[in-house]
Amino acid sequence: MRILVATAVPVERDAVARALAGATDVEVLAAGVGPARAAAATATALAAGPYGLVVSAGIAGGFLPDAPVGSLVVADEITAADLGAETADGFVPVTELGFGTVSHRPPEALVRDAVAATGARAGAVLTVSTVTGTAARAALLKGRHPTALAEAMEGFGVAEAAAVHGVPVLEIRAVSNPVGPRDRAAWRIGDALEALAEGFGKLAPVLESWNTV
């Protein structure tokens, strides 16, 4: 079965596709920005399957000092960080309200092999609908999710679509900027895209091996 790689935007798609050129069993899709759009596009693609694996990929903000700019992160947990309710006592995830889910875990063996192949760090990748723009918010998220290494906007949506279709999921991110105050001058999007392409070049044998299991 084929592998579906879902990115947010075309430049991410193109970076991944460049690294996987010649791989006939992989489709790379620019699914759109945000968890809802990513979930809808991924689910639509999976309905036309079959696929044996879905990979959410792209650039992301990294939590310093563990995920500096230019580094790679592989999710061992894909978590919706802002899916729930604000209360007088603080944030309550939707699971504590009695329904839904807020986290998906990729296969441990696949995470381990991806980390070994790419040199990435493994940790939680948070999905948010509003990107963090202050140090206070970054500290709050890190306090709630101590293992978090990166923040992006699509992984949980991709994982939800994969779960509906019974397909395992993986998320890999290249860090373009620190999570915290928005300093566009300090962003290194080009470097992150190169790191993403390089990472997928190293990841290709892992994906091929997974696809033949």
pLDDT tens column, 151-176:
999 999 999 999 999 999 999 999 99
- Max distance between CA atoms of the chain, in angstroms, equals 54
Q: Can you say how many angstroms the Cα of residue 88 is from the centroid of all Cα atoms in its chain?
A: 31
The amino acid that residue 211 corresponds to is N
104: pLDDT strictly greater than 80 = yes
What percent of the chain has a predicted confidence (pLDDT) above 90?
A: 85
Q: Rounded to the nearest 5 degrees, what angle is found at the Cα of 56, between the Cα atoms of 54 and 61?
A: 165
- C-alpha closest to that of 151 among 62, 65, 58: 62
Cβ contact 63:142 at 8 Å: yes
Q: Is 64 helix (H, G, I), strand (E, B) or coil?
A: coil
Lowest mean pLDDT among 42-46, 90-94, 126-130, 132-136: 90-94
**The pLDDT of residue 211:** 59
Q: Which residues pair with 125 in a beta bridge?
A: 78, 150
213: pLDDT strictly greater than 60 = no
Cβ contact 79:105 at 8 Å: no
Distances (CA, A) of 154 to 15, 118, 190: 17, 21, 20
